[in-house]
Amino acid sequence: MTAAETQAQARAREYFSSTATLTPLEVRDRITAAMEALEAVLAGVPPGRAAERPLAGEWSVQEVVDHLVETYRPGLDELRCVLAGERPPGDPIPAALQSKAPSLRPWSWLLDELRRAQRDVVEVLAAVPVAFETDARAPIVMVVNVTGPDGRVRPLHWVEDLDWKAYAMVSWRLHAIDHMKQSRKIVAALG
């Protein structure tokens, strides 16, 4: 691993550790705020242009939302496992998971599904007792962008086992923020 990759992993692990002091209410509120910010960006996407790919090698906004819908569903199942004191079965959710035909899903349907999934996440988090504790962990595929020695930005992937708070914050707060920024960039390129 390069020094930049080692530093990126260390920063991510510091973030994971920082979530330990959050209350369930703080976890829920921070995730809700990120989801609302994402929704505000998506509200500005012209429906007839959501499937356009204005940037070479990048997803369309429709593909971004499809990805979120497809990852939020199994993520919620994994969170439920951890909250029940169990490690989720199977492999972690793939980093670039999408449906089989993201461009064929109606834009309005995708937005409705995203809202439904977000609501379900918030409801599960709202039910977590203040003093809840568990040793259960969930594996997650972490992806961070790292600048290589050649100056090019590349994704760094690794699997990390996270407690419920870090898992929730990465799966729904950081994930929403990351894809909100990506969506803003795509919308700007649409003109």
Place of tokens 């920082």: 18
Residue 60 in 3-state DSSP? Answer: coil
Return the bridge partners of 155, or none: 145
Which of 68, 20, 81 shows the shortest CA–CA distance to 172? Answer: 68
CB atoms near residue 175 (< 10 Å): 22
Which of 47, 46, 40, 53 shows the shortest CA–CA distance to 118? Answer: 40
User: Is the pLDDT assigned to residue 106 strictly greater than 90?
Assistant: yes
Residues 6+ apart with CB under 8 A from 17: 166
Digit-coded pLDDT (tens) for 17-63 = 999 999 999 999 999 999 999 999 999 999 999 999 999 999 999 99
pLDDT at position 146 is 93
Query: What class, spelled out in words, does domain 21-45+58-141+163-190 have in CATH?
Result: mainly alpha
How far apart are alpha carbons 88 and 137 in whole angstroms?
8
pLDDT at position 148 is 87
Digit-coded pLDDT (tens) for 109-153 = 999 999 999 999 999 999 999 999 999 999 999 999 999 889 898
Residue 44 in 3-state DSSP? Answer: coil
pLDDT at position 59 is 96
Q: Is the Cβ–Cβ distance between 45 and 59 less than 8 Å?
A: no
Question: DSSP 3-state helix, strand, coil percentages of the chain (rounded to 5)?
Answer: 60, 10, 30
pLDDT at position 1 is 83
How far apart are alpha carbons 101 and 51 in whole angstroms?
12
| Average pLDDT over all residues of the chain | 96
**What would the 3-class secondary structure string for 88-130 be?**
CCCCCCCCCCCCCCHHHCCHHHHHHHHHHHHHHHHHHHHCCCC
Digit-coded pLDDT (tens) for 5-24 = 999 999 999 999 999 999 99
pLDDT at position 161 is 97
How many Cα neighbours within 13 Å face the side chain of 165?
A: 23
pLDDT at position 67 is 98
Q: Domain spans of the chain?
A: 21-45+58-141+163-190
pLDDT at position 149 is 87
pTM for the model: 0.95
